[in-house]
Amino acid sequence: MCDEHSVHAESGEAKVGRTLSVERVRQLNSRTYFYEMLKDNPQLTAIYPGIEDELLAGATDHHIHAYPDFVHRSQDMLQIAVDASRARMRAVAFKDHWHLTAGAAYLVQQQIDEMVKDGRLEHRVEVYGGLGLNLGINPEAVEIGLKYPNFKCIWFPTFKSFGWARSAGLEPEKKGGYVRLVGPSGAVLPEVRQVMEMAAEAGVAVALGHTDFEELLPLCTLAKEVGLRTVLDHPLLELNKLLIEEMVTLADLGAYVGTYCQPMIPSLYQPVQDPMETVEAIRRVGAARCLVGSDFGQVLHLDSVDGLRVFVRALLGFGIPADEVRTIVRDNPAKLLGLDPISG
Instruction: Indicate the DSSP class of residue 76.
Output: B
* pLDDT tens digits, one per residue of 223-261: 999 999 999 999 999 999 999 999 999 999 999 999 999
* Sign of the dihedral through C-alpha 184, 136, 205, 226: positive
pLDDT number for residue 342 = 77
pLDDT number for residue 215 = 98
pTM over 0.85: yes
pLDDT band at 36 (very low <50, low <70, confident <90, very high): confident
* 305: pLDDT strictly greater than 50: yes
Enumerate the β-bridge partners of residue 298.
73
pLDDT number for residue 88 = 98
For the segment 273-286, the average pLDDT, to the nearest whole number, is: 96
- Report the alpha-carbon distance of residue 98 to residue 145 in Å, rounded: 13
DSSP reduced 3-state for 305:
helix
Instruction: Indicate the DSSP class of residue 300.
Output: T
Q: Which residue has the higher pLDDT, 197 or 177?
A: 197
What residue segments make up the domains of the chain, in order of their start?
A: 55-337
Which CATH number describes the domain made up of 55-337?
Answer: 3.20.20.140
DSSP reduced 3-state for 73:
strand
* 5: pLDDT strictly greater than 70: no
Strands 91-95 and 20-21: unpaired
* pLDDT tens digits, one per residue of 89-141: 999 999 999 999 999 999 999 999 999 999 999 999 999 999 999 999 999 99
In the chain, % of residues over pLDDT 70: 96
For the segment 214-228, the average pLDDT, to the nearest whole number, is: 98
For the segment 267-295, the average pLDDT, to the nearest whole number, is: 94
pLDDT number for residue 236 = 96
Sequence-ordered strand ranges (E) for the chain? 15-16, 20-21, 60-65, 91-95, 126-132, 151-155, 205-207, 230-232, 256-258, 290-291
pLDDT number for residue 344 = 58
Would you give the distance in Å from CA 7 to the centre of its chain? 30
For the segment 74-78, the average pLDDT, to the nearest whole number, is: 97
Q: Provide DSSP, 35-65.
A: HHHHHS-GGGGG--TTTTHHHHTT-EEEEEE
pLDDT number for residue 10 = 46
For the segment 275-299, the average pLDDT, to the nearest whole number, is: 96
